């Protein structure tokens, strides 16, 4: 049995880190360079193992080139002229062959190690870049496309980076082999080169026709990954509406499009590969014809013609693999350019030069003439202005689409305002470092996301080193401790994907506990108790009252019981704040407020 590596540093979701240290270099940001030049810095970060692999591969093939010459000498001296014993020549050939085999094995180990480390680096670079991209990017890009580019596209690049260096080394050895061929017979060596210009022209044509179909294949594989991802994550919706057959048909259509691309790829291979593979055979036939005539004429020995044919095979080996190299290269190019589409994407939300940390925030929040739209000409917030004092609890109330959740997203700077400004303690949020800002603003969403790990790790996600008693205290404040304790393994229970083994209310309570454990001075509850029954909700807010008194809180809610928790209510309509006051004041003075509450309380 293979032993597990010893535990290293714990990660936020439990488990351990591997020995992989992460990418040492990034790709080149010069978009004008060829794709392989852009990836070269990542490969050069592993140049020690890469160069060792190439040197050993070269040494292995050089040793192989000695064997035909040794064979020629053995035949001429031991069999024809009987100058010395054949056993000595055989022993020398075996020793050289053994060393060639050993260096070849070690070379491939180093080469594959480099290739897989480059693959890991590219995957890490993509994931790291994805974590820095803004919400707007994820609003327009399908997750399946990202998964495909982080897997199959990277694998295509990795395979080419493994295969191509071997072909390059083979090409250098071909030059050495050709030198030996010239030493044996110059006319025969020139005959062997007759087919090489034709192979070069065919290689150029193959490269032109293979790239488009390689791009189409990778894109359609990504479409399949998107459909699978949507069906796995949306399986409850699919089953709820009995749309299994429709989704199977949708996947079948996508798979058929992939099959068409593969068939087209195979057709192109069938047309071009035979030329690349068989033209060298024509060169071999020509060498055998002219070489045989020279042997019969007495101008060439039998050992020489055998050695010449062996060198010819070495010379032709790179050309025999030329077709595969071209096809893999075009697929790698298509995959690399799809990877670059992600890595070249720039985040919309970035820290300004000179940004600084928000130190000991008090929680004073001000929106000053804020305008915002997710898409051009579709205004969501229009001239929103209000101020919240430290420790104040404010409820945001309004119809669906009035802009309540957008307030929370802008406050945490998930998006930037199109006009106006948002400040915390008098500091424009765009002047603050993102880490300090989001440490200060805790957001609990209406549809919380849980990771497929233990409940303890989910609650401690924002504070990975939190003690168990702190986690339990946060769970009690969110009224989650009781149901957690009833689970078979308590806080060590592993929840299913996205936490779907728990009820919606249980997931929301864990999300509240996760945010409370971080203890942010500004708390945003974005309909965070919508899936919790009224009785449990009342208990949660009873527990939260003491906590809310010391922090600025935004409550986005529809239930009157939740709104009553607030010191002040902001009524929103059409992206504007149309009224402000206590719950009782707005009920008396603002008919729209009563109408919104009545609509929210209607049975659904």
Q: What is the mean pLDDT of residues 170-194?
A: 79
Q: Do residues 191 and 156 both lie within one domain?
A: yes
DSSP 499: G
Phi, psi of 298 (to 5 degrees): 85, 10
Please state, in angstroms and rounded to a whole number, the distance separating the CA atoms of residues 604 and 597: 14
DSSP 10: B
Q: Do residues 457 and 529 both lie within one domain?
A: yes
Q: How far is CA 184 from the centre of its chain?
A: 54
pLDDT category, 14, cuts 50, 70, 90? very low
Please state, in angstroms and rounded to a whole number, the distance separating the CA atoms of residues 556 and 444: 10
383-412 pLDDT per residue, tens? 999 999 998 889 999 888 888 889 988 998
Q: Answer yes or no: are the C-beta atoms of 24 and 45 closer than 8 Å.
A: yes
Q: What is the mean pLDDT of residues 507-514?
A: 86
How many separate domains does the chain show?
2
277-292 pLDDT per residue, tens? 677 777 777 777 777 7
Check whether 27 has a pLDDT greater than 90.
no
Tell me, yes or no, whether 15 lies in a domain.
Answer: no
Domain boundary among 313, 343, 373: 343
Q: Do residues 457 and 565 both lie within one domain?
A: yes
Q: Are strands 552-556 and 522-526 parallel, antiparallel or unpaired?
A: parallel
Bridge partners, residue 552, by sequence: 522
Q: Do residues 321 and 404 both lie within one domain?
A: no
Please state, in angstroms and rounded to a whole number, the distance separating the CA atoms of residues 96 and 104: 12
Write down the pLDDT at residue 428: 94
Tell me, yes or no, whether 13 lies in a domain.
Answer: no
Please tell me the pTM assigned to this model: 0.67
Q: What is the mean pLDDT of residues 355-375?
A: 92
Rounded (5°) CA angle 248-253-257? 145
Q: Answer yes or no: are the C-beta atoms of 435 and 518 closer than 8 Å.
A: no
Please state, in angstroms and rounded to a whole number, the distance separating the CA atoms of residues 315 and 279: 13
The residue among 71 and 50 whose pLDDT is bigger is 50
Tell me, yes or no, whether 516 lies in a domain.
Answer: yes
Tell me, yes or no, whether 596 lies in a domain.
Answer: yes
Write down the pLDDT at residue 236: 55
Compute how many other C-beta atoms are within 10 angstroms of the C-beta atom of residue 248: 12
Q: Do residues 389 and 255 both lie within one domain?
A: no
DSSP 467: -
DSSP letter string, 268-320: HHHHHHHHHHHHHHHHHHHHHHHHHHHHHTTSS-HHHHHHHHHHHHHHHHHHH
Element of type H or E holding 368: strand 365-373
CATH code for position 566: 3.40.50.300
Write down the pLDDT at residue 16: 38
Using alpha carbons, list the distances in angstroms from residue 223 to 229, 496, 507: 10, 26, 31
User: Which structural domain range is residue 587 located in?
Assistant: 365-601
Q: What is the mean pLDDT of residues 179-201?
A: 78
Please state, in angstroms and rounded to a whole number, the distance separating the CA atoms of residues 264 and 406: 47
DSSP letter string, 90-117: HHHHHHHHHHHHHHHHHHHHHHHHHHHH
Q: What is the mean pLDDT of residues 513-536?
A: 77
Closest CA to 427 of 371, 351, 364, 353: 364
Using alpha carbons, list the distances in angstroms from residue 330 to 205, 208, 262, 336: 12, 9, 14, 10
Phi, psi of 543 (to 5 degrees): -70, -30
Check whether 478 has a pLDDT greater than 60.
yes
Q: Answer yes or no: are the C-beta atoms of 409 and 352 closer than 8 Å.
A: no
DSSP 106: H
Check whether 257 has a pLDDT greater than 70.
yes
pLDDT category, 1, cuts 50, 70, 90? very low
284-313 pLDDT per residue, tens? 777 777 777 777 776 777 667 777 777 777
Task: Give the sign of the dihedral formed by CA 226, CA 230, CA 558, CA 365.
Answer: negative
Least confident interval from 120-129, 202-211, 558-567: 202-211
Write down the pLDDT at residue 368: 95
124-178 pLDDT per residue, tens? 888 888 888 887 887 777 776 777 777 778 888 888 877 777 777 777 777 787 8
Q: Do residues 311 and 438 both lie within one domain?
A: no
Q: Do residues 289 and 401 both lie within one domain?
A: no
Write down the pLDDT at residue 18: 43
Q: Do residues 325 and 376 both lie within one domain?
A: no
Q: Do residues 338 and 425 both lie within one domain?
A: no
Q: Answer yes or no: are the C-beta atoms of 547 and 516 closer than 8 Å.
A: yes
The residue among 543 and 287 whose pLDDT is bigger is 287
The CA radius of gyration of the chain, in Å to the nearest whole number, is 34
Q: What is the mean pLDDT of residues 56-73?
A: 78
Per-chain mean pLDDT for the chain:
79
Check whether 15 has a pLDDT greater than 60.
no
Q: Do residues 390 and 307 both lie within one domain?
A: no
């Amino acid at each position: 049995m293979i032993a597990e590596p010893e535990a290293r540093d714990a990660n936020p979701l439990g488990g351990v880190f591997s020995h992989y240290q992460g990418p040492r270099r990034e790709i080149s940001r010069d978009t004008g360079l060829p794709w392989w030049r852009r990836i070269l810095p990542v490969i050069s970060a592993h140049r020690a193992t890469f160069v060792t692999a190439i040197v050993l591969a070269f040494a292995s093939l050089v040793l192989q080139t000695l064997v035909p010459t040794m064979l020629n000498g053995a035949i001429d001296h031991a069999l024809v002229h009987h100058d010395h014993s054949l056993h000595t020549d055989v022993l020398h050939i075996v020793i050289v062959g053994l060393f060639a085999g050993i260096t070849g094995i070690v070379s491939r180990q180093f080469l594959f190690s480099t290739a897989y480390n480059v693959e890991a680096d590219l995957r890490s670079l993509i994931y790291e870049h994805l974590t820095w991209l803004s919400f707007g990017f994820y609003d327009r890009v399908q997750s399946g496309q990202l998964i495909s580019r982080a897997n199959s596209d990277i694998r295509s690049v990795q395979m080419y980076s493994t295969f191509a260096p071997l072909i390059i080394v083979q090409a250098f050895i071909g030059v050495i082999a050709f030198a030996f061929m010239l030493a044996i017979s110059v006319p025969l060596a020139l005959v062997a080169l007759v087919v090489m210009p034709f192979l070069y022209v065919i290689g150029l044509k193959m490269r032109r026709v293979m790239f488009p179909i390689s791009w189409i294949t990778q894109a359609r594989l990504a479409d399949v990954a998107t459909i699978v991802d949507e069906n796995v994550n949306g399986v409850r919706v699919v089953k709820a509406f009995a749309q299994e057959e429709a989704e199977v048909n949708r996947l079948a259509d996508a798979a058929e499009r992939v099959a068409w691309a593969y068939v087209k790829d195979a057709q192109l291979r069938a047309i071009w590969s035979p030329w690349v593979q068989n033209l060298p055979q024509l060169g071999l036939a020509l060498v055998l014809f002219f070489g045989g005539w020279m042997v019969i004429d007495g101008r060439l020995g039998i050992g020489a013609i055998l050695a010449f044919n062996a060198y010819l095979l070495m010379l032709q080996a790179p050309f025999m693999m030329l077709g595969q190299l071209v096809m893999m290269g075009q697929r790698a190019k298509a995959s690399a350019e799809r990877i670059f589409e992600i890595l070249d994407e720039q985040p919309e939300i970035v820290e300004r030069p000179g940004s600084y940390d928000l130190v000991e925030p008090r929680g004073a929040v001000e929106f000053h003439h804020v305008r915002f739209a997710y898409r051009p000409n579709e205004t969501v917030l229009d001239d929103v202005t209000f101020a919240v004092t430290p420790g104040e609890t404010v409820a945001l109330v309004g119809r669906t689409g009035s802009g309540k959740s957008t307030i929370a997203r802008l406050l945490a700077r998930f998006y930037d305002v199109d006009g106006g400004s948002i400040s915390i303690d008098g500091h424009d949020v765009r002047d603050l470092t993102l880490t300090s800002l989001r440490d200060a603003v805790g957001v609990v969403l209406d549809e919380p996301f849980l990771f497929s790990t233990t409940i303890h790790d989910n609650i401690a996600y924002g504070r990975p080193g939190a003690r168990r008693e702190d986690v339990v205290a946060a769970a009690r404040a969110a009224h989650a401790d009781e149901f957690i304790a009833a689970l078979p393994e308590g806080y060590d229970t592993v929840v299913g994907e996205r936490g779907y083994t728990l009820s919606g209310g249980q997931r929301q309570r864990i999300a509240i506990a996760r945010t409370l454990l971080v203890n942010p001075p500004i708390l945003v509850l974005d309909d965070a108790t919508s899936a919790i029954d009224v009785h449990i909700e009342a208990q949660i807010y009873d527990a939260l009252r003491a906590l809310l008194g010391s922090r600025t809180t935004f409550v986005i809610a529809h239930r009157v019981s939740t709104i009553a928790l607030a010191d002040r209510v902001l009524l929103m309509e059409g992206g504007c704040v149309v009224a402000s006051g206590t719950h009782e004041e707005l009920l008396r003075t603002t008919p729209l407020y009563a109408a919104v509450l009545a609509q929210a309380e209607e049975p659904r």
